Structure 1
């Protein structure tokens, strides 16, 4: 795996051994950032949920994002994530939080809303809808926030009446890549 573009172009990213972490492929990442465009990434505050290797957040930092918060709970993934951040010299623009997103996002309660949110949860566990609910409840979104969800058809997105609007949906084999916006910023932080 490698960084595709920006100041860290062609730099390597490590991935944990085994099948517990499913890194976003270079091809899919390239498509994702093409969909986003440079304007959406430049100067953005990024949240990378279910970060795994951190490839999505690090790609955003390479392309000009201001900062990134990486949230992950798996010990092997965390170890590799710390190594990747250090190897790429991104410590001053990154923060890593060990947290189980399934229960809540209290770990982010002192954060301002994020501009760009990446979510690539384990497939088939319903974690996409759970994490979106936590983002909404935690006051971590504004109408300007862009949310990118990598998921499968078995992990449906919440209905639009919950405030999330699907702006774009692409299919890559069994993987769906959805770009969402949030239209209800009246939720209060808890």
Structure 2
């Protein structure tokens, strides 16, 4: 069973697609969101949840203060689950501000080619069998869309190599949780020209 862990929709049960997805475990999601809250990366954030599956990562971010979340999922049955979960989350938002939630039923690369910039937080949780070339392409398309100090989290099998980070995305750290590895990265800071003395 997958649930929203905390925030205004805490304990809300989420639907999960019958097949073709691998939901992030509660333990790993707890670790992800503890890290994000520690760096104040959620409040008011614009979020992309790529390869969304059930939408659990993006919707958890919305429950905890993200204001704009796009769930990108090309499989129609999974996208329908994302829509149902997003609707349930919005019903739980009593009063106060309601996050803006969208489901994009498109392949990730096709979505990124036309997406708006200003992304504060991107979750990339592809199927473990997605090849490294396709993941590298996704990261390359994502890089110019990122806001200053954006956070990128890539979830992979612990047997997968480190992602090929493009210019504009700077790796920070790796964390292992059994069969799952989280790769954390942020927007690369441009080199400033040296000041004359």
Fold in common (TM above 0.5): yes
Match status 1:15 vs 2:16: yes
Superposition pairs of residues 113-152 of structure 1, within 5 angstroms:
113-125=118-130, 126=132, 127-136=134-143, 139-152=144-157
Structure with greater Cα Rg: 2
- 1:12-41, Cα deviation, whole Å (9 max, x unpaired): 1010112x1111111111110111125111
Q: TM-score, normalised by structure 1?
A: 0.86
Asked if structure 1 preserves the Cα contact closer than 8 Å seen for 2:43 and 2:67, the reply is yes
Equivalent-residue separation in structure 1 for 2:31 and 2:137 (angstroms): 25
In structure 2, relative to structure 1, the CA distance for the partners of 1:4 and 1:103 (3 Å cut) is same
Equivalent-residue separation in structure 2 for 1:51 and 1:8 (angstroms): 18
Q: Give the structure with the larger strand fraction.
A: 2
Q: TM-score, normalised by structure 2?
A: 0.83
> What residue in structure 1 maps to residue 181 of structure 2?
176
Regions of 4+ moved over 3 Å: none
Task: Structure 1: give runs of 5+ residues left out of the alignment.
Answer: none
> What residue in structure 1 maps to residue 104 of structure 2?
97
Q: CA deviation at 1:104?
A: 6.1
Equivalent-residue separation in structure 1 for 2:148 and 2:89 (angstroms): 32
Asked if structure 2 preserves the Cα contact closer than 8 Å seen for 1:143 and 1:182, the reply is yes
Equivalent-residue separation in structure 2 for 1:178 and 1:67 (angstroms): 23
> What residue in structure 1 maps to residue 164 of structure 2?
158
Superposed CA RMSD in Å reads: 2.1
- 1:93-120, Cα deviation, whole Å (9 max, x unpaired): 1011111124562241xx2320111110
Task: Structure 2: give runs of 5+ residues left out of the alignment.
Answer: 92-97, 192-197
